[in-house]
Amino acid sequence: MLWKCLKGKQILGYVFHRQKPLYYYIVDFYCPKLMLAIEIDGKESHESNEDQDKKRQLFLENRGIKFLRFKEIEVRNDLKFVLKEIEKYIIRCQ
């Protein structure tokens, strides 16, 4: 659902990639210009546990990558909220 809204520069003209490899890890969505990773927590496809997610995030943050995290239920039930939060973050970074 979120990918349909991120692809094709739909969010303030920024390019996002889906399932982007970064170093040894893969993030759900990534904007290279902003060095922004967006993660959706609670997906059944995520086999890593919370400790592994924290370790991965810390590793990537130490390399300058910022994170936004949303729960899967937020994406499913309130996609407008998620999109507004992403837009607010981008506007703060400009």
- Average pLDDT, stretch 53-65? 96
Q: What is the pLDDT of residue 63?
A: 98
pTM metric for this prediction? 0.90
What CATH number does residue 58 fall under?
A: 3.40.960.10
Q: Check whether 48 has a pLDDT greater than 70.
A: no
- Average pLDDT, stretch 16-38? 97
Q: Read off the tokens for 49.
A: 């546990």
- Average pLDDT, stretch 58-86? 97
Residue 54 lies in domain: 2-93
- Written as one string, the DSSP assignment of 19-73 is EEEETTEEEEEEETTTTEEEEEET-TT--S-HHHHHHHHHHHHTTT-EEEEEEHH
Q: What is the pLDDT of residue 94?
A: 85
Q: Check whether 76 has a pLDDT greater than 80.
A: yes
Structural domains of the chain, count: 1
In the chain, % of residues over pLDDT 90: 86
Q: What is the pLDDT of residue 46?
A: 47
Distance separating alpha carbons of residues 47 and 60, to the nearest angstrom:
19
